[in-house]
């Protein structure tokens, strides 16, 4: 059962532990870029209205999100995978990002308070009311809690700046199965750090509230991972899925099966379906591990 709101006194206690920051560049906050392969965000996202959020919790950056305030959903969240048993925890409070609304915000990612939420917050991001009366859609995490291990890393995923409206059958069916498949794959065969970027495409469909377009509904959900240190002795059908691989699916009740593909194939699809330039690249240098050998020896391996 999701806990959607906390009494104000609890919110104040938790707010002292939580923080997130809207930044000009992910490099501007210490260790924020640790969530990105080679410290480099996906290249080619050209919309200047998008907001970069360094998602901080308990004074530590946990992951990053590129957020679209006009659509009130994330474009993508990028995070490092943490080995986990995959159990799901849903007793964390939902949070929002005050800095999307106030330039003078204090940097805290805050639990939603009980009672009235100021209109300026609703202008820049989704709020709980946007999802409360929607039957078809659930809050679908881009950075899912079951890909995180510590209580703080998991709690930090419960911000509405990290979720999109997903068709219920898709969210609890094919997409949850895919998240579990990747969890097991990376648990078993990734020997170093795995970097994941998960995002969406949109086609103009929205959740409406009070006769207003409120939250964009994704057309597709996509994801890609990069792990350059992996088990070279894994079976061949596993080795071909490293160092990087990707997936794409329709956010739909039917015809929503997961299509795994190369990252290059995913990038080709995204160039035709979202606002990016031709230089789109999800992972720096296409997730090619820097070779420790001098150039004249690299051709020998």
Q: Model confidence over 92-131: pLDDT tens digits?
A: 889 888 778 765 555 667 787 776 555 667 888 999 889 9
Burial track 214-233 (b if 16+ CB lie within 10 A, e otherwise):
bbbbbbbbbbbbbbbebeee
pLDDT given for residue 144 in this prediction: 96
Q: Dihedral through CA 84, CA 281, CA 61, CA 188, nearest 10? A: 10
Identify the pLDDT of residue 117: 58
pTM strictly above 0.95: no
3-state SS track over 163-191 = EEEEEHHHHHHHHHHHHHHHHHHHHHHEC
Torsion of CA 165, 167, 171, 172, to 10 degrees: 140
The distance of Cα 192 from the centroid of its chain, to the nearest Å, equals 20
CA–CA separation, 71 and 254 (whole Å): 24
Structural domain boundaries of the chain? 22-287
- The CA distance from 10 to 230, in Å, is 43
CATH number 3.30.70.20 given to 22-287? no
129-161: per-residue pLDDT in tens? 899 889 899 999 999 999 999 999 999 999 999
Question: What H or E segment, with its residue span, contains residue 95?
Answer: strand 95-96
Q: What does the pLDDT look like over 8-53, one tens digit per residue?
A: 334 433 433 444 677 877 776 667 899 999 999 999 999 999 999 9
Task: Give pLDDT tens digits for 77-91.
Answer: 999 999 988 776 667
């Amino acid at each position: 059962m999701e806990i959607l709101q906390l009494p104000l006194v609890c919110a104040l206690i938790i707010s002292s532990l939580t923080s997130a920051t809207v930044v000009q560049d992910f490099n501007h906050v210490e260790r924020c870029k640790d969530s990105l392969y080679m410290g480099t965000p996906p290249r080619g996202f050209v919309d200047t209205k998008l907001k970069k959020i360094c998602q901080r919790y308990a004074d530590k950056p946990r992951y990053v999100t590129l957020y679209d305030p006009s659509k009130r959903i994330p474009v993508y969240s990028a995070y490092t995978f943490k080995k986990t048993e995959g159990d799901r925890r849903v007793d964390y409070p939902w949070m929002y990002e005050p800095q999307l609304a106030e330039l003078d915000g204090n940097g805290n990612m805050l639990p939603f308070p009980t009672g009235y939420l100021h209109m300026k917050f609703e202008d820049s991001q989704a709020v709980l009311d946007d999802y409360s009366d929607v039957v078809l859609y659930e809050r679908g995490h881009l950075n899912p809690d079951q890909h995180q291990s510590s209580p703080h890393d998991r709690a930090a995923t419960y911000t509405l700046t990290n979720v999109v409206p997903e068709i219920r059958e898709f969210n609890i069916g094919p997409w949850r199965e895919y998240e579990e498949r990747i969890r097991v794959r990376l648990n078993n065969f990734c020997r170093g750090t795995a970097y994941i970027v998960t995002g969406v495409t949109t086609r103009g469909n929205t959740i409406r509230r009070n006769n207003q377009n409120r939250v964009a509904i994704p057309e597709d959900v996509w994801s890609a991972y990069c792990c350059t240190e992996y088990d070279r002795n894994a079976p061949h059908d596993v080795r071909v899925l490293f160092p990087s691989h990707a997936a794409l699916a329709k956010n739909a009740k039917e015809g929503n099966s997961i299509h795994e593909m190369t990252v290059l194939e995913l990038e080709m699809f995204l160039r035709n379906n979202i606002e990016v330039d031709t230089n789109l690249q999800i992972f720096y240098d296409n997730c090619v591990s820097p070779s420790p050998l001098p150039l004249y020896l690299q051709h020998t391996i």
